[in-house]
Structure 1
Amino acid sequence: MLRVSRLSLAIGTYSLFMKEQKNNPALKGLPVAKRGQATAKLYRELSVTEREELAKRAKAAPSATRKKSVPKTKGKEKVTGGGGKRKASEYTEFVKSNISKYSNLPQRERMTAVAKLWKQQKQMRK
């Protein structure tokens, strides 16, 4: 079961450090995994005062907020063909009229036989 939480989505010190290191030229050409390792190494090498300053900036940074969904407005609805049934195709009419001829066969073979008959008649029309 999901529960709604009203916690503010504050940014952490390491997350802020990673954002700041995004444009670091020393990390630019590295693949993602190596870049993460290098950033972690740089973070561990920070002095205590630098970490405290980073923590202050992280607290001062605006927290992420969830975007509220915008209610959908009812626009112009598409007008379709009146909601009635569409006209049956020639093939459908052909199947309806000829399926009873093959009632002794199983369904799959019956449809195969009707399809062959349709192809024969189509070739004769040409």
Structure 2
Amino acid sequence: MNEIQPTAPAPAPSRRPARRALLIGVPVTAAALAGAFAFTALTNSGGSGATAATPPPVEAPVVRIETGSTAQLASTVEHIAAAASASKTPEPGPGQYIYIKSKVSYLTISHTGTDKSKT
């Protein structure tokens, strides 16, 4: 602590580089915006005066999802439980962790008596 000495304050930064950046940056930005506007106006007009034909919208296909069955649910759950209990869970050591990657699927079905838009 005996070697710490107060230093002289730093000189104030010059404002000249900021002015130079503004003098160059503003016209370059304006020219770029004007060029982009002109390019957009020329490409949207069709070029030779012909109107570009817009294709008609295409109706999206309807995918029907059938309700699943619970016929083999009990045996599947028993099989999963037996496989999970067959292996010993590893114990992490100091500074280690266990990563568990899961695959999950969510399905929501909502039925209302008043919605008859598509069947």
TM superposition score category, shorter chain reference: under 0.3
Q: Which has the higher contact order (CA 8 A, sep 6+)?
A: 1
TM-score by length of 1: 0.23
TM-score by length of 2: 0.24
